[in-house]
Amino acid sequence: MAEKINSETLQVTSFDIIFHSGNARTLIHEAFRSMRKEMFEEVEEKLRQANEEILHAHQSQTQLLKEYASGTKIEMEIIMVHAQDHPMTTMTLLEVAQEMNYLYQKNK
């Protein structure tokens, strides 16, 4: 019989993903404010920190995928579905912010 991830573990992992994605999103919005002020060194640092936060969220996702791939049963909960949206939208926002930073600096 396959091992199963318990509900509490799944919830903790979900909140870890949401937490780090939220931190990244906040940093990205701080970077946008810095772009408008042409504080480009600060922008670079905020985007670097945001990327680190996204990587942390992604590591939590990857751990679940590894467990699933090794045969561990994972019963999906609504919080996990919600959590999966966060890093995806935040990664997209980071890509947009990086492109906007480039354009801001190019047009300076």
Query: Among 96, 1, 3, which Cα is nearest to 50's?
Result: 96
| 86 is annotated as an active-site residue | no
Please tell me which residue in 20, 29, 82, 86 is annotated as part of the active site. 82
Dist. CA 49–CA 63, nearest whole Å: 21
Residue 62 is inside which H or E element, if any?
helix 40-69
Contact present, 61 and 84 (Cβ < 8 Å): yes
Q: Which residues are known catalytic residues?
A: 82
